[in-house]
Amino acid sequence: MRLRLWVAQTNVVVSMVHLELLYKPAAISRGKPDGRLVVVSNRVPLPSSSVAPAAGGLAVALQAVLKPRGGLWFGWSGKTSEESGPAAQCRTFGSLTYAVCDLSRRDVEQYYHGFANRALWPICHYRLDLADLSECNAAGYFRVNEQFARQLHEMLRPDDMIWVHDYHFIPMARVLRELGCVNRIGFFMHIPWPGPEVASALPAYQRILRSFGAYDVVGFQTQSDADNFRDCIVSANAGRVASGDWCEIDGRRMQVSAFPIGIDSEAFAQEARAAEKNSTVKRMLASLDGRDLVIGVDRLDYSKGLKQRMAAFATFLERSPQAARARVTMLQITPKSRSEVPEYARLQRDLEEEAGRINGKLGDVDWTPLRYINKSMSRSALAGLYRIARIGLVTPLRDGMNLVAKEYVAAQAPDNPGVLVLSQFAGAAQELKSALIVNPYDVEATAAAIARAFTMPLDERKDRWHGMMAALRANSVQDWASRFLQALANEAESGEFDRALDEARFPGSGGLDRLSAIGAAPRRAPLFVFDQPGAESQIERAQFRKVRPVSLVSSIARVPAPGHSFAGVLQHHLTLVP
């Protein structure tokens, strides 16, 4: 499709400017695209011949992306080996290949338990007091990234598109570039990114920031995280913010944007409906004996605000005689994690003591107010438990997104939905604005929100639920993946475009035909090419820019008011890519 727009230029003399739009459909092609998608994550859900790949969270999202197009999923096996740099183990299921590598005990201790989980994780969650600033662990982190990158590089094909996930592999692209990789590489940060006053506490801070510059697209969960990252680049003199979402590090341009992750809300709602027959859900209902349920589901982590949440629930019971008489019960499901890290072992002891204190003070022979368990639940069981819970408590002290909040909303019965109490410091609060938003550090305010949720009329609960479901449907996990991969693919042919543009300056070179072909290719966002009037030919002495639309393209077709230049109109409606 080709569209020609004429826009008046109002300077001292009004002249006409040729503007040609080479348009590509906004959505990613549903056909099998050229090249593989290569996904890199710390842990890979390696299936067996008799067991389906692990379901839940990020695994479901990435499998949904990889399955229709095929690809490679690369990462750590989760196992240790005595060998030095053992070869990757590959297994293929249909069109998807899984490739995993073992690590030595030293690598696991320094890269995973050390730098990733005792430096990057606490600092990115604003817990400088818990950070271990070890140069030895930092060296191990970069060493393991180089080791993984070298193994991945041997598997890459020229037309692969690479998508790296999370804080474990920030330096991955830098090493791949040094090895000669010219593929498109994107990075998505699932956890928060703090401002420079916090992030600068990271060991090897400059090296980490500059490692981001090797990516073509860097995605964050929220706009605040993306803005914090840009501030870090500028304050550390590691690069510059160009315009719009575009930044430059060490002379290399990259897109930095927010891509909030979603869930498949319809599939999860269906799972919740079917889970009424789940044995765990049935046993829970029988044990409640008609009492209202408050639920929290979190991996054991100090960022989740679990101690403050327990205290808020206890305060709610103490200040609400009606709830105490009704024997409202809270179920906190908290699987253990990172038990080798001392901070997590201490947290486990603290939570056990807090749960015991609350039950000892408020419980009775036939009522345990707080049921605290450290075991994982199946996806089906969780969906059913969410559905029967009158209140969902999702109150992290800091979180990139928090999909539990979205799953709780999706699981609710439309005719009798529960109420979500959500931390203002979770990325999900930017989308689920109809939740009861709380400051999780304020125990009394959180207790008051629980009390409000407990007494909320049905009509208000329905209104709030409908508002949140609309937000979930507008941003599914498929939408998230499509938006990121579209951004990564948008400039995938930029080198081809530049070469065609150079050749087009010479008659008979075929450059003009190649420019038209690029514009007609699938998966491309609108690409604008315009030239100045008075050129001797269509291309000679032309001034070209590629621009990415951020609002309706049709809005630039209006003639600008007197005193507004054509460039001003473009800058108002579009983000210019330098």
Could you give the CA distance from residue 561 to residue 545 in angstroms, rounded to a whole number? 23
Residues 64 and 198 in one domain: yes
Say which of 107, 190, 225, 301 is annotated catalytic.
190
Residues 445 and 305 in one domain: yes
**Any catalytic annotation for residue 190?**
yes
Task: Domain of residue 66: give its range.
Answer: 37-262
Q: Is residue 424 part of a domain?
A: yes
Say which of 166, 225, 399, 531 is annotated catalytic.
399
Residues 405 and 366 in one domain: yes
Q: Is residue 43 part of a domain?
A: yes
Q: What share of the chain is helix, strand, coil (3-state, %, to 5)?
A: 45, 20, 35
Residues 91 and 122 in one domain: yes
Q: Is residue 486 part of a domain?
A: no
Q: Is residue 482 part of a domain?
A: no
* 395, 308 Cβ separation under 8 angstroms: yes
Residues 258 and 272 in one domain: no
Residues 166 and 284 in one domain: no
Q: Is residue 149 part of a domain?
A: yes
* Total of domains in the chain: 3
Last residue of a domain, one of 262, 293, 318: 262
List of residues 6+ apart from 370 with CB closer than 8 A: 310, 313, 314, 329, 330, 332, 355, 358, 359
List of residues 6+ apart from 88 with CB closer than 8 A: 74, 99, 100, 101, 151, 155
CATH number of the CATH domain containing 439: 3.40.50.2000
Torsion angle of alpha carbons 475, 481, 487, 493, nearest 10°? Answer: -150
**Any catalytic annotation for residue 399?**
yes
Residues 443 and 524 in one domain: no
Q: Is residue 483 part of a domain?
A: no
What's the pTM value of the predicted model, to 2 decimals? 0.81
Cβ neighbours around 472 below 10 Å, total:
23
- Return the half-sphere exposure (C-beta side, CA atoms, 13 A cut-off) of residue 282: 6
Q: Is residue 29 part of a domain?
A: no
Last residue of a domain, one of 217, 241, 262: 262
C-alpha distances out from residue 6 to 18, 557, 561, Å: 6, 7, 15
List of residues 6+ apart from 263 with CB closer than 8 A: 403, 406, 407, 410, 472, 476, 477
Q: Is residue 141 part of a domain?
A: yes
Residues 461 and 339 in one domain: yes
Last residue of a domain, one of 229, 262, 295: 262
Question: Long-range contact list for 65-70, CB < 8 A, 24+ apart?
Answer: 65/37, 65/39, 65/481, 65/485, 66/37, 66/39, 66/96, 67/94, 67/95, 67/96, 68/30, 68/32, 69/32, 69/33, 69/36, 69/37, 69/95, 70/32, 70/36, 70/37, 70/94, 70/95, 70/96
Sign of CA dihedral 229, 235, 239, 240: positive
Residues 224 and 96 in one domain: yes
pLDDT of the chain, 578 residues: tens digit per residue: 333 333 333 222 222 233 333 322 233 333 445 679 999 999 888 776 444 444 446 676 777 678 777 799 999 998 998 876 678 899 998 889 999 999 999 999 999 999 999 999 999 999 999 999 999 999 999 999 999 999 999 999 999 999 999 999 999 999 999 999 999 999 999 999 999 999 999 999 999 999 999 999 999 999 999 999 999 999 999 999 988 899 999 999 999 999 999 999 999 999 999 998 999 999 999 999 999 999 999 999 999 999 999 999 999 999 999 999 999 999 999 998 877 778 888 999 999 999 999 999 999 999 999 999 999 999 999 999 999 999 999 999 999 999 999 999 999 999 999 999 999 999 999 999 999 999 999 999 999 999 999 999 999 999 999 999 999 999 999 899 999 999 999 864 444 554 454 455 455 556 556 555 555 544 344 444 443 344 333 333 333 333 333 333 333 333 334 444 444 444 444 443 33
Residues 219 and 297 in one domain: no
Torsion angle of alpha carbons 336, 338, 341, 347, nearest 10°? Answer: -30
Residues 73 and 45 in one domain: yes
Residues 239 and 296 in one domain: no
C-alpha distances out from residue 25 to 100, 258, 300, 523, Å: 35, 21, 43, 6
